[in-house]
Structure 1
């Protein structure tokens, strides 16, 4: 009897440039780029572009869809805690997000179509600082939330016995970036008893499309992947609402549009399956962010991971097969910094996959621990702990 497990539960910094609050995580871009991985790849440090086994839900290579032979549904939820340290203070930030939900529909001629929704960038930042001098000295506050998301449409096709090709389109029509900028003039600088306060709320929404093309070649127990994402220009609508308080309250709103750019990106992957139980993968990705805005840096990401499948403890090897995953990675970030030194991020990951009965689906949990930035070089650093929970189901 066929059965589909429905996945309902599962799955830094935005554009501003008005003020540099002295943090490497201040607003100087589209936001923190989300690694679009399924939990297995997350548990393997981010590797997996070449794992073409009919269960890989990662969006970094659309050619993976060509291996699906039965309909599937997938959802993923992530919880993260970040400890932010600068030269003066230390604070913790926690957030949780549905990072992806996707369905896959195979068709007759060895291929599959997918539709879903995924986060592309993430924003969660809070800063308060004293800026200005003399009569202009004031407290400046910033709170940023949201992110850029996309509706994903894609397909993959198996050609011959060893080649898989695919393409997908990210329709950037969902997700907003919201910034709140507050200004409080220090009381001891005021000549009267009335406080001075202003608040700017900036809401950014996007529309546009970016494409990704990929391929996987599978000679023997090895598979090799290549992925390319051309440069894309997205239209961003910016709504600025201002509230100013002195002895009266005034309100003003201005709406404008501008173009923002996502860089050309190239990725490659290598996977080797010694047996059905043991899998190792290595990936790298390069993105040309320097061409999208002054001060930004090109980025490079490398990841290495393994998966080991535990066999049931009986002579006939009948029963559930649990997956154990581990990996390491290093990636650089595109953000402009006051020193000009690029920010690096390094981490390790672990994961566990628990199958449902009759191989109808799988629950996966991963833990990702890492650091980004250097307090001495970039004025701030972060240590982060991220847990990912996902459920995937297949029709038998």
Structure 2
């Protein structure tokens, strides 16, 4: 008889996504890439240009940033994980992204920055009871994981025409992910427990080209309809890893019994991600956006072969928008940007035959900070909220109910490099 318990015991180190059993699979929990503005619009934005905010979803939209921009986004999350018989809460947080953009020419803008890509943080336990003719024994299996991947990026966007722009982003992906499996046989005796520790060292350059086209459908209001697309190109190469096997000595210590798999290499394949978006709106009034993305995670190859067997193709569909009541009207709250959206994801994870889905509602605000020196470009504080659910308790699964908050600060100003005259 097997008794499965897929819930954590104890607290592990916090990271950008917090503790999650689902981070065992693939490259871990993928981080939000769009920042506070995108969270408020449910992670839409491939076809949603912005003059004030750096668009981190489509490098082609950098051409709309015509002044120097500095942007930082912070992230926090609280989630409740539940099975049919138990529950636990977890928190996490950290930096979402740090980005800087600046115009090179009238048609070209460049950007660079740093952001998390994924994180691994889990501790799972499974107990199997084995009955024999003479005795009863239990095998306890513990699975632990930790680590994170980050990326440094350099991007540029170029306006071929006022309505057509292209861009490309180069990401340097780096970090370490550790997965450990521990087996213990009860009743306890000497040399009845061992662990396998797998540590992968990632270092890879990934490219993401993008394009955006808009058509003006009303000249007076500058109302437009647009389409955008990006491809985060896949990559293949070598992955360096360490595989260590330890045996417990019965005195609370461990003895390494296999040193043959230190500083080894294996094949690594990163699947491509395709994303397309539609958008329409009136500048300084409102915008609507719809995004769809697809990644075939069955093509992922790394050292985590056990969890990858549960990986499938994944897609994301989202709609969102933002609205400014009266940009040119008196009153501060008329100039605030209000955002909302809905996001649905079929994640690449399947557990006990059950596909794991993720759905959340996003809300947000863009709070301008006015200054007398400029009429249209000003610092902004972005607030994004997301309330959602991932997974289900069916088929001995885990349900995660989460609340996320993202706080972003944007400084965008063409006055930084202006020479002033003293009368």
Q: Residue 26 of structure 2 aligns with which residue?
A: 29
The answer to whether the 8 Å contact 2:18/2:92 transfers is no
What RMSD, in angstroms, separates the aligned Cα atoms of the two structures? 2.8
Q: Which ranges of structure 1 fall in alignment gaps of 5 or more residues?
A: 1-10, 15-22
Q: Which ranges of structure 2 fall in alignment gaps of 5 or more residues?
A: 1-15, 217-223, 301-307, 372-376, 415-423
In 2, Cα distance between equivalents of 1:106 and 1:136:
68
Give the secondary structure class of the aligned counterpart of 1:217: strand
Give the secondary structure class of the aligned counterpart of 2:386: strand
Aligned residue pair count = 371
Give the secondary structure class of the aligned counterpart of 1:52: coil
- Indicate which of 95, 118, 121 corresponds to 1:121: 118
Q: Residue 142 of structure 1 aligns with which residue?
A: 143
TM-score for the superposition, normalised by structure 2 = 0.79
- Indicate which of 343, 350, 360 corresponds to 2:356: 343
CA deviations over 1:177-232 (Å, ceiling 9, x no partner): 2334444443xx13x5x696545443322011111111111111222112222222
Report the Cα offset of residue 130 of structure 1: 1.7
Q: Residue 288 of structure 1 aligns with which residue?
A: 296
Q: Residue 211 of structure 2 aligns with which residue?
A: 215
Q: Residue 389 of structure 1 aligns with which residue?
A: 407
The answer to whether the 8 Å contact 1:12/1:31 transfers is no
In 1, Cα distance between equivalents of 2:182 and 2:84:
23
Bigger mean CA deviation after superposition, 77-86 or 160-169: 77-86
Give the secondary structure class of the aligned counterpart of 1:105: strand
In 1, Cα distance between equivalents of 2:95 and 2:69:
18
In 2, Cα distance between equivalents of 1:261 and 1:132:
38
Bigger mean CA deviation after superposition, 343-352 or 287-296: 287-296
Q: Residue 7 of structure 1 aligns with which residue?
A: none
In 2, Cα distance between equivalents of 1:273 and 1:364:
20
In 2, Cα distance between equivalents of 1:126 and 1:385:
21
CA deviations over 1:330-358 (Å, ceiling 9, x no partner): 0111124331x422111101112212232
Structure 1 segment 1-396 matched on structure 2, within 5 A: 25=22, 27-131=24-128, 133-134=130-131, 137-172=138-173, 174-186=174-186, 189-190=187-188, 198-220=194-216, 221-233=224-236, 235-247=238-250, 249-251=254-256, 253=259, 254-255=261-262, 256-274=264-282, 276-292=284-300, 294-311=309-326, 316=330, 321-339=335-353, 341-358=354-371, 359-377=377-395, 379-396=397-414
The answer to whether the 8 Å contact 1:54/1:64 transfers is no
Report the Cα offset of residue 319 of structure 1: 8.7
Report the Cα offset of residue 266 of structure 1: 1.5
In 2, Cα distance between equivalents of 1:327 and 1:318:
23
The answer to whether the 8 Å contact 2:18/2:77 transfers is no
CA deviations over 1:92-138 (Å, ceiling 9, x no partner): 12111212111112102411111111222222222233246357623
CA deviations over 1:40-64 (Å, ceiling 9, x no partner): 1110111111112333424321101
The answer to whether the 8 Å contact 1:320/1:355 transfers is no
The answer to whether the 8 Å contact 2:84/2:396 transfers is no
In 1, Cα distance between equivalents of 2:33 and 2:368:
22
Report the Cα offset of residue 78 of structure 1: 1.1
In 2, Cα distance between equivalents of 1:133 and 1:60:
51
In 2, Cα distance between equivalents of 1:234 and 1:374:
36
In 1, Cα distance between equivalents of 2:91 and 2:333:
38
The answer to whether the 8 Å contact 2:271/2:299 transfers is yes
The answer to whether the 8 Å contact 1:40/1:364 transfers is yes
TM-score for the superposition, normalised by structure 1 = 0.84
Report the Cα offset of residue 315 of structure 1: 6.1
Q: 1:38 to 1:151 in 2, by over 3 A?
A: same
Q: Residue 219 of structure 2 aligns with which residue?
A: none
Which structure is higher in strand share? Answer: 2
